[in-house]
Amino acid sequence: MKARIAGTALVAALIVFAGYAALFIAPTDSRQGDIYRIMFFHISIWLAMFTALTIACIGNIAWLATRQLKWDRLGVTGAEVGVACCTAGLITGPLWGKPVWGIWWTWDARLTTTFLLWLLYISYLLLRGLIEEPQSRATLSAVFGIFAFLDVPLVYMSNRLWRTQHPQPVIFGGPDSALDPTMGKVLGLCMVAIVAVTILVLRDRYRLEHLRHELGELQQEVESRSLDTQPVTGKDI
């Protein structure tokens, strides 16, 4: 417990320092002004999403290979956190894009594949809610989750494969980079901080799913015992 509290406190301090660095240490962009500071959180959120959805895919594959419910719990945990990150990314993107591009949204390859990814994992979560039997739910959602994950590399590679509203990839502070070295360091710090927060959320969400599974087993056990202890009446003979 002490280690968990210490870890949470460390991550909290890290996210506070990362926020301070993004707002006050990173220099102001000469073209975009201060609005570009959304970048430090926007890009970090996408890295967190890729991390969560990769964990979800690992859980989906492991469930199909082992049929152990712990992997199904890992799959739904990663999917839920990934959807939350994707939603945050889709919100922060237009907030940054409107002042810079002059538009809230455009159906280019990056935005379209990302929106499709969001819809796929929302469908994954809805599918799980429609199936009550645990084994069938785990199997069908795992297959669908692996299919949905195929869009993840497309999202990442979209501005490399097609011409999009988003700029081409930027290397941190290198000779061919358009990113100031200080900006690159602050962005790296924000990425570490946001991913650390995501890992904490994944840990707690997995624990919640485990407790939910145990509660379901206890409820089934209580129901089965209540049926066994019901008195026999004439109607039952």
pLDDT of residue 53: 98
pLDDT attached to residue 231: 60
65 or 31, which is more confident: 65
Domains in the chain: boundaries: 35-167+181-207
pLDDT tens digits for range 43-57:
999 999 999 999 999
Six token digits for residue 106: 């455009």
Q: Once rounded to an integer, what is the mean pLDDT over residues 138-164?
A: 94
pLDDT in tens, 192-207: 999 999 999 999 999 9
- How deeply is 81 buried, as exposed, middle or buried, from its count of CB atoms within 10 A (0-12, 13-18, 19+)? buried
Calpha distance 184→80 (Å, rounded): 29
| Sequence-distant (≥ 6) Cβ neighbours of residue 223 within 8 angstroms | none
Structure letter (DSSP) for residue 33: B
Q: Which residues of 46-63 are buried (b: 16+ CB within 10 A; e: fewer)?
A: bbbbbbbbebbbebbbbb
What pLDDT is stored for residue 93 in this prediction?
94
Poorest-pLDDT segment among 19-23, 95-99, 212-216? 212-216
pTM recorded for the entire structure: 0.89
